[in-house]
């Protein structure tokens, strides 16, 4: 099992990064929005904790910069009906609040994630509420929203769909343009209005 990947960040895409290791192997790793936001610029060293997911049609690698976030992802995969894409979407949309939403049984917060309906949210709470007690909020994150999450929330409040807003913010971040929520919203709006 590939538990971690350490190397040079060689590419940032909207939902994936490529990390080249010193052994000459490059890994394509899917990451949540918060991790994409916190990654350094291309050419810098990164260290990601990973979860490989093997399916009939191939295998994928999912990366996290925090062991707690990785543990939440792994436990979400254990819930019936939750696959890696939905688990990643939950961590992208809710960030550190995902843990609190599940522990507190906040069905409404979980239903804001694209692809999570009421029944799925209830199943997640039922199956994981007591299994997340040992996991705190990810390192360096409290209950406050990260700038990228704030930008997505602002775009949704402006009338854009959550998936569309998430994609636009990811596109801005993949260009290596970190910043405050206002700058992210401005750049994402330029992308969204250009596409119409």
- Residue ranges per domain, the chain? 4-64, 67-128, 147-194
Residues of the chain with pLDDT > 70, as a percent, come to 91
DSSP 35: H
Render pLDDT for 35-89 as a digit per residue (tens, 0 to 9): 988 889 899 999 999 999 998 888 999 999 988 889 999 999 999 989 999 999 8
DSSP 138: P
Q: What is the pTM of this model?
A: 0.74
CA-based torsion, 11, 63, 164, 83: positive or negative: positive
Q: For domain 67-128, give the CATH number.
A: 1.10.150.20
Q: Which CATH class is domain 4-64?
A: mainly beta
Intrachain domains 4-64 and 67-128 with the same fold: no
Render pLDDT for 18-34 as a digit per residue (tens, 0 to 9): 999 999 999 999 999 88
The rounded distance, in Å, linking the Cα atoms of 158 and 148 is 15
From the candidate CATH numbers 1.10.8.10, 3.40.50.2300, 3.40.50.300, 1.25.60.10, the one assigned to the domain spanning 147-194: 1.10.8.10
Q: In Å, what is the CA distance from 107 to each residue of 157, 160, 184?
A: 20, 22, 28
Beta bridge partners of 4: 49
Number of residues assigned to the chain = 196
Render pLDDT for 135-155 as a digit per residue (tens, 0 to 9): 755 544 444 557 887 888 788
Element (H, E) at 27: strand 26-30
């Amino acid at each position: 099992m590939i538990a971690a990947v350490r190397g040079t960040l060689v590419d940032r895409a909207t939902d994936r990064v490529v990390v080249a290791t010193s052994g000459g192997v490059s890994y394509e790793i899917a990451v949540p929005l918060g991790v994409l936001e916190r990654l350094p610029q291309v050419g810098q060293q990164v260290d990601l904790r990973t979860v490989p997911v093997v399916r009939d049609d191939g295998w994928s690698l999912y990366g996290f910069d925090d062991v707690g976030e990785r543990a939440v992802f792994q436990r979400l995969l254990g819930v019936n009906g939750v696959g890696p894409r939905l688990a990643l979407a939950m961590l992208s949309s809710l960030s550190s609040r995902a843990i609190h939403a599940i522990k507190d049984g906040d069905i409404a917060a979980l239903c804001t994630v694209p692809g999570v309906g009421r029944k799925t949210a209830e199943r997640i709470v039922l199956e994981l509420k007591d299994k997340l007690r040992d996991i705190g909020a990810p390192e360096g994150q409290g209950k406050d929203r990260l700038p990228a999450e704030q930008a997505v929330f602002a775009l949704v409040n402006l009338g854009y769909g959550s998936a569309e807003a998430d994609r636009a913010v990811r596109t801005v971040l993949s260009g290596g343009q970190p910043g405050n929520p206002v700058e992210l919203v401005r750049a994402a709006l330029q992308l969204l209005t250009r596409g119409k």
